[in-house]
């Protein structure tokens, strides 16, 4: 049963990071492009940028998790990483 819970938590982490990266891409990046350059982000490019951001966030989460385990830190940005679960 523990393996199922861990697998579901991993899926939830990935979904959370994917949604966050998509919102950053379509919200923040698109706003900056339209404000400073007068253009919008192509949906295909937005999806690719979102994928790259998801991988970067997942890597950062894993690094924080491993670093927190090594230092014995549980709290904010410790062994629980970015997501907190």
- On whether residue 22 sits in a domain, the answer given is yes
Residue given tokens 């790259």 in the structure block: 52
Task: Examine the pLDDT at 76 and tell me if it is beyond 70.
Answer: no
Burial zone of 69 (CB within 10 Å; 0-12 exposed, 13-18 middle, 19+ buried): middle
Look at 14-18, 47-51, 81-85 and tell me which has the smallest mean pLDDT. Answer: 81-85
Instruction: Name the domain count of the chain.
Output: 1
Give domain status of residue 80, yes or no: no
**84 belongs to a structural domain:** no
Stretch 45-73: mean pLDDT:
85
63 vs 77: CA distance, rounded Å: 10
Determine, yes or no, domain membership for 76: no
Range of the domain at 49: 2-71
Angstrom distances, CA of residue 55 to CA of 38, 39, 51: 28, 26, 6
Residue 78 domain-assigned (yes or no): no
Backbone angles phi, psi at 49, to 5 degrees: -65, -40
Angle of helix 2-23 relative to helix 43-71, nearest 10 degrees? 130
């Amino acid at each position: 049963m523990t393996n199922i819970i861990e697998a579901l938590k991993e899926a939830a982490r990935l979904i959370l990071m994917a949604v966050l990266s998509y919102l950053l891409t379509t919200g923040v990046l698109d706003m900056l492009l339209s404000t400073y350059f007068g253009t919008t982000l192509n949906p295909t490019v937005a999806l690719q940028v979102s994928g790259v951001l998801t991988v970067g966030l997942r890597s950062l989460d894993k690094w924080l998790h491993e670093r927190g385990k090594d230092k014995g830190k549980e709290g904010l940005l410790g062994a629980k990483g970015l997501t907190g679960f």
